[in-house]
Copies of this chain bind each other. A is one copy, B any other.
Amino acid sequence: MEISEIRRTVYVGTFIYSTSLTKLEVLENAAVIVGVDKGTILAIEKTVTEETVGLWEGEVGTKIVRAGEGQFFFPGFIDTHIHAPQYPNSGIFGSSTLLDWLDRYTFPLEASLSNPSKAHRVYARCVSRTLSHGTTTAAYYATRDVTSTNILASVCFAAGQRAFVGRCCMDCLSPDYYRDESPAQAIADTKACANYIDKLDPTHALVTPIITPRFAPSCSRELLAGLGAYMAESGLPCQTHISENKAEVAFVAELFPEYDSYASVYDAYGLLQPKTVLAHAIYLSDAEIALVKRRGAKVSHCPVSNTALTSGAAKVRRLLDEGIVVGLGTDVSGGYSPSILEAARQATMTSRFVALTDGEAAKLGVEEALYLATRGGAEVLGLEKKVGAFELGMEWDAILVGLTDVPEELGEVVGGGMGPVDVFGWESWLEKVAKWVYCGDDRNVLKVWVSGKIVHNKPEQ
């Protein structure tokens, strides 16, 4: 049978996904039927017999993909905040905090990516790595360079990763060697990148431009106003940073004395919208939380970065209780890991520090962290009807997860080459999921699909 004749793929085995913030659904011996042309879920059979699978196998145009014993399908991860050009600095941040970290580590590396061949090398590696960790959708910051930003869009498109790609706008307070020359130029360059993506992927099925003022301190009022106007006119989403670090919050108050808060600055320029992704949101005041909620803006929680840069711990439970939509971000390279599984793990860990002062209810559990990593992230990026779970009509953005069975019989003492999650055989599915969240890594991500197409296939070991 020719590949081109395949009309639908039937995924068979165990499926796990969030049905709410606190509930993971486990479907064993189930099947999900995906149409090949649009990559959407056509049917979900909660229980199937081998006889049924046998009938499907006999059908012309149907391909069967099975999760092996102990393996499970899970929705692809959604990274709502990642700086692709900073990827080579992962792990290199010393004892810095936000503002000195930007000057010392970040701006020099980002500026150097105006070299297209360097940009291509870095972006290809970054996208390859995020895919191998199971990130099916990512909201990327690029650099302020147009060509290099377009290279990132092309790399995502070619690799088949669902992506938002934003040229980084910054016409103030950045070093001479790395600053937009004027608000007008910054806006023109932003539009140039959007136009490039419009040609690359006219329907934005995979890659979407995203308006990206770096953060308030690096943007003039004129630039913020221009980007707000462009957002209104284009309908494009927007991403920026907010309230990551106490010194930054004080700096914004000094730079924008006419506004009563950091959130008010973005709001004044029309940038606080339902399609706005705000990274960090650690020190929002009650009034800012109310404003963010009123505007329907979303939050990207980046726990690894927040701890690494001594920024603090976002009060995620509070934001969720207020009804604000929250997803997870790796924030590479403020965060050292390109893995959303690691972000989920550290979201539970940083929440425990919040719990030490705010009480046990502040803790996030495994279920909640995985919700943020999938459905939460999807809603942050306006994709909640499309990805983040296994539901009728959603696209098949998924990963196949495999764990390691510890042999019953004592064999030789072996080490490398095997995945990091040991299953002894007595664990429930939810315990296996907990082991995966705390002990797992990219070795457990065996296959990755976006919109029904395979985009990562781990070599057999």
Contacts and interface: CB of A to CB of B under 8 A. Distances in A.
A124 B410 contact: yes
Interface in A353-378: 353, 355-356, 360, 363, 365
Given A310-B352, A312-B356, A88 B422 contact: yes
A422 B129 contact: yes
Nearest to A448: B415
A283 to B, nearest CB: 12
A54 interface: no
A446 B417 CA distance: 11
A308 B91 contact: no
Nearest to A437: B91
Contacts of A353: 307, 313, 353
A459 interface: yes
A121 B426 CA distance: 14
A56 interface: no
A218 interface: no
A285 interface: no
A443 B416 contact: yes
Given A310-B355, A415-B132, A459-B417, A406 B95 contact: no
A408 B121 CA distance: 7
Most buried by B among A91, A159, A439: A91
Interface string A96-134: 000000000000000000000000111011011101100
Contacts of A356: 310, 312
A35 B127 CA distance: 47
Nearest to A446: B416
B363 A310 contact: yes
Given A90-B439, A413-B131, A360 B459 contact: no
A87 B312 CA distance: 31
A203 interface: no
A205 interface: no
A307 B355 CA distance: 11
Nearest to A356: B312
A349 B308 contact: yes
Most buried by B among A88, A413, A441, A461: A413
Interface string A386-425: 0000000000000000000010101001111100111010
A347 to B, nearest CB: 12
A37 interface: no
Contacts of A95: 360, 363, 365
A222 interface: no
Contact of A434 (B92, B124, B421, B441): B92
Nearest to A133: B415
A336 interface: yes
Interface in A318-365: 336-337, 349, 352-353, 355-356, 360, 363, 365
Given A92-B435, A124-B410, A415-B458, 11 more contacts: A88-B422, A91-B434, A95-B360, A121-B406, A121-B424, A131-B415, A353-B353, A415-B456, A416-B456, A420-B441, A441-B441
Interface of A: 87-88, 90-92, 94-95, 120-122, 124-125, 127-129, 131-132, 159, 307-308, 310, 312-313, 336-337, 349, 352-353, 355-356, 360, 363, 365, 406, 408, 410, 413-417, 420-422, 424, 427, 431, 434-439, 441-443, 445-446, 456, 458-459, 461
Nearest 9 pairs between A and B by C-beta?
A132-B415, A91-B438, A416-B458, A336-B438, A91-B435, A128-B413, A310-B352, A88-B424, A417-B459
